[in-house]
Amino acid sequence: MRSVRTVQFDLFIKLREIRQAAEVLNQIGTLPTPELEAWAAENGELVNAAFENFIDDSNSVLRDVSFDSSTLKLSQDLIVSLRDTLVAVQHIVAADKTRLRS
């Protein structure tokens, strides 16, 4: 089993990565509808694949979580950030699907 410090560091890095990705996705989500639809059509599958890979990587880190309070807080923050980022991904992908139905 990995040390608590190693797990905490990995959680910190994953949290930072997902927050950065969420910030970019939120900015993309504010694009005018035609631009958002075009971006989603071009990049939607890549974003979905990247998000799935990120979830898998995060799960491998979360498996090693110990029960000290700081590690659990980082774990909770990561899970909440993943959820929030998923909302942004769904918003972008939904824009592409709306375009396909029209």
Give the pLDDT score at 11: 86
The pLDDT of residue 35 is 92
- φ, ψ of residue 6 in degrees (nearest 5): -65, -45
Tens-binned pLDDT, residue by residue, of the chain (102 aa): 678 788 888 888 988 998 998 899 889 988 898 998 898 889 888 888 888 888 888 888 777 766 678 888 888 888 888 888 888 888 777 765 554 444
The structure's pTM equals: 0.72
Domain extent for 71 = 4-101
pLDDT of residue 16: 92
pLDDT at 3: 80
pLDDT at position 99 is 47
Q: What is the pLDDT of residue 94?
A: 74
How many domains, the chain?
Answer: 1
Q: How many residues does the chain have?
A: 102
Q: Which are the contacts of 101, defined by CB distance < 8 A and separation ≥ 6?
A: none
The DSSP-derived string for 46-74 is HHHHHHHHHHHHHHHHHTT--SSHHHHHH
